[in-house]
Amino acid sequence: MDTIQEKRLDEQGLKLHFIQTKKFKTINIIVKLKSKLDKETITKRALLPYILKQGTKTYPDRSALQLKLDDLYGAVLTADGGKKGENHIISVRLEFANEKFIPDASNVMDEAVQLLSEVLFHPNTGATGFDDAVFKREVGTLKQKISAIQDDKMSYANMRLIDEMCKEEAYQLHVHGYEEDLNNLTNDDLFNYYQHMLEQDEMDIYVLGDFVEEKVKHLIMDTMQRTEQQGTKEADPAAKNSVIEQNEIIEKQKVQQAKLHIGFRTNTTYQDEAYFALQVFNGLFGGFPSSKLFINVREKNSLAYYASSRLESHKGLLFVFSGIAPDDFEKARDIIRLQVQAMKDGDFTEQELNETKDLIVNQLKETMDHPQGLIEILYQQVIGNRQMTPTELLEGIQNVTKDEVVHVASKIEEDTVYLLTSEGGEQGE
């Protein structure tokens, strides 16, 4: 395996990260803008990626912009917002074919960097901020997106679990923002916030692929000027909230299948030494088809098609997801709880431990074979404010002992059980 070398440069308020690799037929450039999660700004931050994709000064509407992308051999521009711990991250990504694979192509890199910088720094503006028609239209798009969440029952149940579990915490903020805040938002407000964001957010730029570093560095510095930031901001300390009171929430809707989602506090985050052991815990517990949840909830008891768990590394949460028949709620919940207890009791073999470590290492290495996956792994270090090279991460996992897993398990507390189930009566079966 190639070792992954990430070269970091701090220039003009931009943090550049260069990753050289011949694995891919494309070049990826990703800009990450990070800020604290805040009810005041979340809706604006949710809206901005939609607006930025709609056009720039030179390519004032979506078709002009798209034609330019098409011309760059079908380059793909994406932009979105996400939560990582108690931070909000806006990502703007441009992926384009490496010109070396296309006969007669040249200048693709130069034009791509220019275009990305336009999208970010020179949007299409109107009299009161962004182009007014685009502003209105994208407010509408986001509103539809907010209401459409309830149509995807898995995402909906997930969101509701976090609502209930993290009521008093910034982490509960909805990543798509809030309809009432959209109703009150003016184009002017949004544009002011956008300018503030460009000045104040922590900005990281990743370039990944097979490219000439000096050239790209100059291209970026020539096009993406940024004033020095007012002192660097501390990354948010991972707010570790403990369980105040165990909750059980049951909600009814017209559904065929019930969603049983359970939230736990791990009391361990990316910044802790025990983070590696927590990853291994999750692998044994519910991360894979060989994990306790899949084997016991699905294979032994035929209760579910899916039953798995996932970690939120920066906030210290563990979520269990399962889709079950409404009548099986208590049975499934109890079986899930038994699996947590089994983990705390160290009810797994050295062999299972080693196999799970291999699976996690495999999964991480696979993610590193995907350009955007690799960048996400590298960016964890910025969020978690902890230097950890991919090699250190893999070694950390490999070195975890059974005692460490049991110890990390002992700190895990159940917080909230959330059930989305069918509205009374038989469901037409």
Partner 1 sequence: MNKETYESIGETLYSEKLDNGLTVFLLPKPEMTKSFGIFSTNYGSIDQTFVPLGESAEVTVPEGVAHFLEHKLFEKEDRDVFADFGKQGASPNAYTSFTKTAYLFSATSQIEKNVETLIDFVQDPYFSDQSVEKEKGIIAQEIKMYDDQPDWQAFMGTIKSMFQNHPVKIDIAGTVDSITSITKDDLYTCYHTFYHPENMTLFVVGNFEVERMMEMITSNQKNKSFEKMAELKRDFPEEPQEVAMKENTIHMPVSIPKCTIGIKDSNSELEKEEFLRKDLLSGMILSHFFSTGGDFYQELYKADLIDDSFYFETNLERNFGYSMIGGNTAKPEEFAAKIKEQLLSTKNYALTVEVFERMKKKKIGQLLRAMNSLEFIANKYIQYHTMGINLFEIIPAIQALSLDDAQAFLNEWIAEERLAVCTISAS
Contact status: 144 vs partner 1 (CB under 8 A): yes
Q: Which is nearer to partner 1, 264 or 281 (CB)?
A: 281
Q: Tell me how far apart the alpha carbons of residues 184 and 89 are, in angstroms, rounded to a whole number.
A: 23
Contact status: 350 vs partner 1 (CB under 8 A): no
Which residue, 343, 404, 416, is CA-closest to 162?
Answer: 416
CB of 411 to partner 1, least distance (A): 26
CB of 253 to partner 1, least distance (A): 7
Max distance between CA atoms of the chain, in angstroms, equals 68
Q: Which is nearer to partner 1, 277 or 359 (CB)?
A: 359
Contact status: 52 vs partner 1 (CB under 8 A): no
Contact status: 50 vs partner 1 (CB under 8 A): yes
Q: Which is nearer to partner 1, 157 or 383 (CB)?
A: 157
Burial (CB count within 10 angstroms: exposed 0-12, middle 13-18, buried 19+), residue 123? buried
CB of 226 to partner 1, least distance (A): 28
Q: Strand, coil or helix: what is 50? A: helix
Helix (H) or strand (E) holding 320, with range, is strand 317-324
Q: Which is nearer to partner 1, 185 or 368 (CB)?
A: 368
Q: How far is CA 86 from the centre of its chain?
A: 12
Q: Which is nearer to partner 1, 34 or 292 (CB)?
A: 292
Q: Which is nearer to partner 1, 317 or 335 (CB)?
A: 335
Given a contact cutoff of 8 angstroms between Cβ atoms, the answer to whether 176 and 149 are in contact is yes
Q: Which residues pair with 304 in a beta bridge?
A: 324
What are the φ and ψ backbone dihedral angles of 158, each rounded to 5 degrees? -65, -45
Contact status: 5 vs partner 1 (CB under 8 A): no
Handedness of CA 369, 374, 376, 380 (dihedral sign): positive
Contact status: 188 vs partner 1 (CB under 8 A): no
Contact status: 429 vs partner 1 (CB under 8 A): yes
Strands of 247-253's sheet, edge to edge? 247-253, 413-422, 258-265, 317-324, 304-312
Residues from 274 through 293 that contact partner 1 (CB under 8 A): 288-290
Q: Which is nearer to partner 1, 194 or 294 (CB)?
A: 294
Handedness of CA 126, 130, 131, 136 (dihedral sign): negative
CB of 61 to partner 1, least distance (A): 8
Q: Which is nearer to partner 1, 25 or 36 (CB)?
A: 25
Looking at 112-120, 180-188, 295-303, 378-386, which segment touches partner 1 (CB under 8 A)?
295-303
Count of residues touching partner 1 (by CB under 8 A) = 78
Residues from 229 through 268 that contact partner 1 (CB under 8 A): 253-257
Q: Which is nearer to partner 1, 376 or 415 (CB)?
A: 376
Token pair for residue 21? Answer: 């690799």
Looking at 184-192, 199-207, 239-247, 349-357, which segment touches partner 1 (CB under 8 A)?
349-357
Pairing of strands 129-130, 304-312: unpaired
x/- map, 385-424, partner 1, by CB under 8 A: ----------------------------------------
Q: Tell me how far apart the alpha carbons of residues 200 and 80 are, in angstroms, rounded to a whole number.
A: 18
Pairing of strands 202-209, 129-130: unpaired
Q: Which residues pair with 78 in a beta bridge?
A: 93
The binder of partner 1 chosen from 1, 242, 330, 334 (CB under 8 A): 1
How far is the CA of 219 from the CAs of 5, 107, 115, 370, in angstroms? 21, 12, 11, 25
What are the φ and ψ backbone dihedral angles of 346, each rounded to 5 degrees? 70, 30
Q: Tell me how far apart the alpha carbons of residues 382 and 384 are, in angstroms, rounded to a whole number.
A: 6
Looking at 8-16, 72-80, 121-129, 262-270, which segment touches partner 1 (CB under 8 A)?
72-80
Contact status: 304 vs partner 1 (CB under 8 A): yes
The binder of partner 1 chosen from 148, 212, 250, 338 (CB under 8 A): 148
Given a contact cutoff of 8 angstroms between Cβ atoms, the answer to whether 418 and 261 are in contact is yes
Contact status: 64 vs partner 1 (CB under 8 A): yes
Q: Which is nearer to partner 1, 144 or 230 (CB)?
A: 144
Given a contact cutoff of 8 angstroms between Cβ atoms, the answer to whether 304 and 332 are in contact is yes
Residues from 309 through 328 that contact partner 1 (CB under 8 A): 323-325
Q: Which is nearer to partner 1, 221 or 361 (CB)?
A: 361
The binder of partner 1 chosen from 7, 102, 252, 410 (CB under 8 A): 102
